[in-house]
Structure 1
Amino acid sequence: MNSALQFSISPYTPFMQETKVNLGNGIELHVEVGGKPEHPTILLIMGLGAQMLFWPDFFCKSLIDQGFRVIRFDNRDIGLSSKVRHQGKRLNTMKLMGRFALGLRNQGAPYTLYDMADDVSMLLDRLGVSKAHVIGASMGGMIAQILAAKYPEKVEKLGLMFTSNNQPFLPPPFPKQLLSLIGKPESRDEEGIVNHSLKLFQLIGSPGYINHIEAVQTARKLYQRSYYPAGVLQQFLAILCTGSLLQLDREIKQPTLVLHGSRDRLLPPSHGKAVAKAISGAKFELIDGMGHDIPAHFIPQLSGLFAHHFKSSY
């Protein structure tokens, strides 16, 4: 780990330390690191509009307890990382979505997932991590696919969770769930945002495994930490202007494990299966009952599968 960086104890959990990392490209990322420096590193990449706290403390601690050092961070445009100001013309999101579904090329976003993958590559460099295991969830899984293909020397093994390669003609995300993710809340005060977040958790989360009290606490914590809806839209535009990752997937050589929930109501399991089919030798596991989230109930299973994957000799 880069000794020049100044770390302090995370305000959220005592086993993680936080710092700011200037990438040198105009972007500064807020980062947390936990575990012993001599242990193999797992880098966690979170999804659309999701702060790094969507990687549950329990999930991070479970990986640490299984012998790994864990890094989680806020992507650009979310949480406590740098915000990107869009100087270009206003884009027609619905038109872009239609072209995206057909595999047609889109342009005009402030940045693409390729830029976000470059952020991750530079983050590893700044942290002094030459090679890491990588787990990406949802949009973070898309970034992880690009990272593994574009910077193969930096990715030891790949873990993907409820993600897609966005190849043409896959079943589209369920409209109600997608619109709740990128849509506007009824009001912009704290209670309005918290209620909007709760509705989102209910729509995309694992049915029967959502703890209402914990969900309220999480929504409030996330709002108080950072609320930047423009970043959510810009990350969505990044997905739409990146397009299919199918050809990139065919370049990935790292051992890959793809996990997907059977009850995912945002990205159907066929998306995860398409990724696993496109990556040579990839393994696919369907997690019975899980949605588009990481509830405590599933964490022992998820962390165990990833830990076994990263420790295996194949």
Structure 2
Amino acid sequence: MMGPQTSGTARNRDVELYFDAHGDNSNPPVLFVNGLGSQSINFLPAWVQSFNRAGFYVIRMDNRDVGRSSKTPGEPPSIERVFEQLTREHSLGELSAPYNLSDMAMDCLAVLDALEIEQAHVWGMSMGGMIVQTLAINHPGRLRSMTTVMSTTGEIGVGQATPEAVAGLGTTGDDRRSVVANAVAARELQGGALFDKDWALSLEEAAYDRCHHPQGQVWQLLAILASGSRADQLPTVEVPTMVIHGRMDQLIQLDGGEATAALIPDAELVVYDQMGHDTPEPLWGDYVADLQRLADRTR
């Protein structure tokens, strides 16, 4: 069981955002920001507790278009069409996006505002890393520190996925069983040496039952593509930064993390040899220690 919990809904204009918070709210807050299509429950109770025990007040949220947060009306283009367009033109082309990463960064601030938190550590993985980078660029005063995990700079040709990893993204299914099975298979393709199939299965079953909304993944992907590269802005970041990446990552390969760390002044790069595009439980203690070390730089 998790400790004391606050849950609620924040609002950024017409978008409602689900959040929950755990632990002692007098402790330093850390906002965890998820990747493409992932819900707040991706950060499991045991994950939350590990950061609580280390003295952090933990905040989870559903990005727009997933979980209990607002959904974009209408139907997006197919994810296959999005990748086809990107591969052919290396640009968004004709595809329009109803929002971008700057809007999603403002969603994060809305959650902090709802909790009356002026500054927080932010920890974002994959797309979440892109969102927290955008926060650090546009709203540095709201951040105590930034940890960007298995993410990249937005530059074309940097942190590119392998064809096998991309193929897993476009697979859904017709019913609960096939959706869950395909999602687990995609996680296995993208995971590293520490991948736990039973853990992935239980998480994907819970995610399906809480909110199955595959359109959200496509809208979020369009937001990434519409936002372009952050390479010109990242050298201006003054927020204490850590970049974490897995050497076995096939969805955003290691050079994405290396490029991010190289662009941000004084960023610390941490590479885990057995980590893929996942956050395996055997490394949770290391992630906690990483954040503690980064937080010490802000005191």
Cα displacement string for residues 112-140 of structure 1 (whole angstroms, at most 9, x for unaligned residues): 11110111112211220000011110000
2:147 to 118, 143, 159: 159
Partner of 1:184: 171
Q: How has the CA–CA distance of structure 1 residues 122 and 171 changed in structure 2, closer, same or farther, with 3 Å as cutoff?
A: closer
Instruction: Report the count of equivalent residues.
Output: 298
Q: Report the equivalent of 2:238.
A: 253
Out of 179, 191, 201, the position equivalent to 1:205 is 191
For the 8 Å contact 1:99–1:106, the answer to whether it is kept is no
What letter is aligned with 2:13? N
Partner SS state of residue 131, structure 2:
helix
Matched, 1:224 2:212: no
Conserved? CA contact 2:86–2:92, under 8 Å: no
Separation (CA, whole Å) in 2 of partners of 1:96 and 1:226 = 28
Equivalent positions of 1:1-314 (< 5 A) are 13-15=1-3, 17-86=5-74, 92-94=81-83, 96-98=85-87, 101=90, 108-181=96-169, 183-185=170-172, 187-207=173-193, 209-313=194-298
CA shift, 1:213, in A, is 2.5
| Letter matched to residue 238 of structure 1 | A
SS at match of 1:201: helix
Instruction: Judge conservation of contact 1:88–1:110 (CA < 8 Å) in 2.
Output: no
Please report how far the alpha carbon of residue 288 of structure 1 lies from its aligned counterpart in structure 2 after TM superposition.
Answer: 1.5
| CA RMSD after TM alignment | 2.1
TM-score by length of 1: 0.88
CA distance in 1, matches of 2:298, 2:66: 36
Q: How far off is 1:255 after superposition? A: 0.9
Between the aligned partners of 1:106 and 1:39, the Cα distance in structure 2 is 47
Query: Secondary structure of 2:227's match?
Result: coil
Unaligned runs of 5+ in 2: none
Equivalent-residue separation in structure 2 for 1:24 and 1:145 (angstroms): 19
**For structure 1, which segment, 164-173 or 220-229, has the greater mean C-alpha deviation from structure 2 after superposition?**
164-173
Pair 1:252–1:196, CA change in 2 (3 A): same
User: How far, CA to CA, are the matches of 1:87 and 1:233 in structure 2?
Assistant: 9
Task: State the Cα distance separating 1:153 from its structure 2 match.
Answer: 0.9
**Structure 1 unaligned regions, length at least 5:** 1-12
The CA distance in 2 between the partners of 1:231 and 1:252, in whole Å, is 30
Q: Give the equivalent residue in structure 2 for 1:5.
A: none
Identity of aligned residues (%): 30
Question: How far apart are 1:172 and its partner, in Å?
Answer: 1.8
